[in-house]
Amino acid sequence: MSTSTKTIQDLTEQEYKYGFVTDIEAETIPRGLNEEIIHLISEKKHEPEFMLEWRLKAYRHWLTMKEPTWHNVHYPPIDYQAIFYYSAPKMKKAPKSLEEVDPELLKTYEKLGIPLAEQKLLAGVAVDAVFDSVSVATTFKEKLAELGIIFCSFSEAVLNHPELVRKYLGSVVPYSDNFFATLNSAVFSDGSFAYIPKGVRCPMELSTYFRINAAETGQFERTLIIAEEGASVSYLEGCTAPIRDTNQLHAAVVELVALNNATIKYSTVQNWYPGDREGKGGIYNFVTKRGRCLGVNSKISWTQVETGSAITWKYPSCILQGDNSVGEFYSVAVTNNYQQADTGTKMIHIGKNTRSTIVTKGISAGHGQNTYRGLVKILKGAANARNYSQCDSLLIGDKCGAHTFPYIEVKNSTSRLEHEASTSKIGEDQIFYCRQRGISTEDAVNLIVNGFCKEVFRELPMEFAVEAQKLLGVSLEGSVG
């Protein structure tokens, strides 16, 4: 046990690797939220009239809403008037190529391990890097444009493709959906937009890195991905944030729309600052992610690795509307120190022969509290719907908690559902077995934890799988004996 205590300490004392602040002149507007601020945000972004109206509608609705309290996370009340709702790095003019981008910004990305220039050449990944609310550089745009794929920042999409934005914005997560999504609808600053035209398979992984930089700036991105008939796309999202003392709010919205025979795969590695050992600071990650399988035979697959954030509140969901559509959710959530996670998914089966799979792995260490909350709902018309859910939890240390709250609601008798959950710790005999073969305790734990998460990791695109394993290592490796 002594080794384990020591390694836990070592780990928890490890400083947040990505904690640094980029000194860059940021253009912000006054704190707080009112209609004027919304007008200001919309004006700064030169948005068309319909966007402003939509924002105002959301804001007015938001005023009538109450912050939810049903979740299993605890935090002091958030003062929504103390937040800066817009912050954009000041630039003289819009950059045309990477060379024109502020070198400070590029350095930030380098520290994060995503050198844009290098990735452009080597990885074949088009990166739409969001630096505090405004998209700075978008690569591979031309290459994608040849195929008719639109991949740009949300603000550009609003200006250049208003008809698409107008058609799909809020079609999956309506402006009135929930407290945080409504707030996002009112004030969202930027995000990513992807449109894959009919029959096109996106030749590369689309990817965004979000980064929260200016202190006390809530980041409210909004992502919209549309896959037309027969299109397919894989999208990666990675997040890191520098150290701050006060908690930062992140209330993002992601909407996915898959038409007939379309496939969308959305992968997230979230590694935001989780707060220090005493649970001070860290990001509040209140995210609404939802995909709608609108067409027949469509498929939406969510994969997430959640290792960061002080509080994670996130339920990537699938509305399986088209017949034969498929929803998947693979998740690894790690909570250490005083982190809290209340995460899971919702699978709403509407169409016939719809299928969904849920595989979640929760790991709690330190004082972490990890909750799986999921809903599987089979509506009346969803004949022959099928669901398989598996939620496993691993507890490391005796001060953490793991909770499971699955809701299963079935209104169709031809459906079949299975739900399984288990909670355990790493077996002494497993460790012993490894030790016996000359593997150190730390490596053994690493091995076992990685094995525990393997089902999820293998769903990640290659680049992410490597990063995810590394992240898991940083957060946990060898924390038990």
Partner 1 sequence: MTATDHFISEFTRLGRESAAAGPAWLRLAREAAVERFRELGFPTLDDEEWKYTNVAPIARTPFRIGNGFAVRGLTVEELQRVTFGEMDCTHLVFLNGRFAPELSRLRPVPDGVRIMSLAAALVEEPDRLEPHLSRHAQFEDHAFVALNTAFIQDGAFVYLPRRKVLEEPIHLIFVSAPNGSPRVSHPRNLIVAEAGSQAAVVESYVSLGEAAYFTNAVTEVVAGDGAVVDHCKLQRESEQAYHVATLQAHLSRSAHFASHSVSLGGALVRNDVNIVLDAEGVDCVLNGLYLAQGSQHIDNHTFIDHARPHGSSREFYKGVLSGRSHGVFNGKIRVRKDAQKTDAKQTNKNLLLSEEALVDTKPQLEIFADDVRCTHGATIGQLDEDALFYLRSRGLAREDARSLLIHAFASDLISRIPVVPVRTGLECLLMTRLPVGIEHREGI
6 contacts partner 1 (rule: CB under 8 A): no
Residue number with CB closer to partner 1 (295 or 366): 366
Task: Using DSSP, state whether 48 is helix, strand or coil.
Answer: coil
Name the residue nearer to partner 1 (CB basis): 22 or 324: 324
The C-alpha atoms of residue 94 and residue 137 are separated, in whole angstroms, by 9
CA distance 408 to 384: 16
Among 398, 436, 437, 438, binds partner 1 (CB under 8 A): 398
Question: According to the binding rule CB under 8 A, does residue 340 interact with partner 1?
Answer: no
- Segment near partner 1 (CB under 8 A); pick from 40-48, 283-291, 395-403, 463-471: 395-403
Q: Provide the β-strand partners of residue 394.
A: 363, 424
Cα–Cα nearest to 361, from 310, 407, 422: 422
| Residue 359 touches partner 1, criterion: CB under 8 A | no
- Candidate ranges 54-62, 150-158, 210-218, 390-398; the one touching partner 1 (CB under 8 A): 390-398
> Quick one: which H or E segment has residue 29?
none
**Nearest-CA neighbor of 194 among 147, 251, 238, 252?**
147
Dihedral class, residue 276 (left if φ above 0, else alpha if ψ from -120 to 50, else beta):
beta
Residue 197 CB, nearest approach to partner 1 (Å): 40
Least distance (Å) between residue 63 CB and partner 1: 22
Rounded-to-integer distance, Cα 4 and Cα 226, Å: 47
419 is a site residue for partner 1 (CB under 8 A): yes
Q: What is the 3-state secondary structure (H, E, C) of 196-222?
A: ECCCCECCCCEEEEEECCCCCECECEE
State the Cα–Cα distance between residues 246 and 106, nearest whole angstrom.
Answer: 26
Q: Smallest distance, Å, CB 365 to partner 1?
A: 9
Of residues 53-72, which lie at the interface with partner 1 (CB under 8 A)? Answer: 70
Q: CB nearer to partner 1: give 67 or 409.
A: 409
Residue 474 as a binder of partner 1 (CB under 8 A): the answer is: no
Q: If binding means CB under 8 A, how many residues of this protein chain bind partner 1?
A: 33
Q: Restricting to residues 187-216, name those near partner 1 by CB under 8 A.
A: none
**Closer residue to partner 1 (CB): 310 or 480:** 480
Of 9, 124, 407, 440, the one binding partner 1 (CB under 8 A) is 407
Binding residue for partner 1, selected from 78, 117, 204, 408, defined by CB under 8 A: 408
Please provide the DSSP assignment of 368-381 as one string.
-EEEEEEEEEE-TT
CA atoms within 13 A on the CB side of 261: 8
Whether 289 and 302 have beta carbons less than 8 Å apart is answered as: yes
195/313 with CB nearer partner 1: 313
Widest distance between CA atoms in the chain: 69
DSSP 8-class letter at 99: G
DSSP code, position 235: E
Q: Which stretch binds partner 1 (CB under 8 A): 51-59, 94-102, 162-170, 403-411?
A: 403-411
The residue type found at 49 is E
Tell me the angle at which helices 441-457 and 428-436 cross, rounded to the nearest 10 degrees. Answer: 120
* Residue 42 or 339 with smaller CB distance to partner 1: 339
Contact call for residue 120 and partner 1 (CB under 8 A): no
Query: How many Cβ atoms sit within 10 Å of the Cβ of residue 225?
Result: 24
The reply to whether 277 sits near partner 1 by the rule CB under 8 A is: no
> Distance (Å, rounded) from C-alpha 58 to C-alpha 303?
29
Binding partner 1 (rule: CB under 8 A), the pick from 397, 447, 467, 473 is 397
For residue 393, state whether it binds partner 1 (rule: CB under 8 A): yes
415 in contact with partner 1 (CB under 8 A): yes
- Close Cβ partners of 232 (under 8 Å, ≥ 6 residues apart): 196, 201, 202, 262, 263, 264
Q: Tell me if 186 contacts partner 1 by CB under 8 A.
A: no
The residues facing 299 across adjacent strands are 263, 326
User: Which is nearer to partner 1, 55 or 373 (by Cβ)?
Assistant: 373
Nearest to 351 by CA among 297, 309, 422, 276: 297
Q: Which of 52, 78, 164, 421 binds partner 1 (CB under 8 A)?
A: 421
Judged by CB under 8 A, which of 413, 429, 437, 438 binds partner 1? 413
Is 400 a binding residue for partner 1 by CB under 8 A? The answer is yes
- Asked whether 249 and 141 are in contact (CB, 8 A), the reply is no
Single residue of 6, 201, 416, 458 touching partner 1 by CB under 8 A: 416
* Binding range to partner 1, per CB under 8 A, among 31-39, 389-397, 458-466, 468-476: 389-397
Smallest gap from Cβ 424 to partner 1, in A, equals 6
- Of 104 and 418, the one with the shorter C-beta distance to partner 1 is 418
At closest approach, how far in Å is the CB of 369 from partner 1? 9
Q: Footprint of partner 1 on this chain (CB under 8 A)? A: 70, 393, 395-425
